[in-house]
Homo-oligomer: A and B are copies of this chain.
Amino acid sequence: MEYPLLVFTTDFGLADSYVGVMKGVALGINPQARFIDLTHGIGPQDIGQGAFVLGVNYRHFPQNSIHVVVVDPDVGTSRWPVLISTPHGRFVGPDNGVLSRVLSDYLEDLPDTGEKANLPPGVSAVRLTNEAYWRHPVSDTFHGRDVFVPVAAHLSLGVPPTELGKPIDSLVWLPMLKPVVEPNGVSGQVIYKDVFGNLVSNIPAALLSGHTSVQVSIGGQTIEGLSRTFADTGSSSSAGLIALTGSHGYLEVAVPRGNAAAVLGIDTGDSVMVSFPDGC
């Protein structure tokens, strides 16, 4: 029998021992635990980036995977540790909004800023209150090691969620930067910058499909048309930039065999504007 995978998404990086220690603790509970690192490269304490990266990628893992999500600047305070069970994966992490993007896949309407998200049908959650499944003594600064991973390891052994805590019916909601659809275009933002310097926006490919002419404005530059691949000349700009649908399913801006973030000198949070010059 194969146990469910433990899949990690954290801001711990790989230079320190935090990630290795979490795996050691998990193996002390389930000696046959198996791990995959989705990434430990979330920007330090960047809950929004963690929510995005987890949210656009969790479906690439087996449905019974247990995701351990640790972007947790308020560790040790009154924010609760939670476990969410969905049709595609279980998620253990802090109730600070980092799971909002996953949750949004199941919500008809997104909550407003300041509201909590009510759990939709098919999704359940427990507040992790049963300290019998934690590592002791529990530190105030490393719940990845002392709470989230022990709970995930016990879960991988078959301990039911209701044994781990108390059912809850809403979660902290992180307002997501949604693109704004305008009469003749879409206004969005750079939401992620990858190691190649490709700039991933929050504008989903679906908002561009069907348009015969597309113009992308970013960092003072204008890109005409869309490319299909990094080597395709379907789009053009004076700075060698191209625009295309990236592998995350969102509009990306890139420089073929180059680094768009360096060329433009911009970063996450900066504006991306799409317009449809022909009005269609």
Contact = CB atoms under 8 A, between A and B. Distances in A.
A40 interface: yes
This chain: copies in complex: 3
A247 B27 contact: no
DSSP majority for the A interface?
Answer: loop
Q: Give the size category of A's interface with B.
A: 35 or more
A89 to B, nearest CB: 10
A77 B13 CA distance: 34
B39 A20 contact: yes
A203 to B, nearest CB: 16
A232 B140 CA distance: 10
26 contacts: A2-B32, A7-B24, A14-B41, A15-B39, A16-B194, A16-B195, A17-B38, A17-B41, A19-B37, A21-B38, A21-B57, A24-B60, A27-B61, A28-B60, A44-B259, A45-B196, A73-B257, A74-B229, A74-B230, A76-B232, A140-B228, A140-B232, A140-B245, A141-B229, A141-B245, A145-B247
A246 interface: yes
A119 interface: no
A245 to B, nearest CB: 8
Nearest to A36: B23
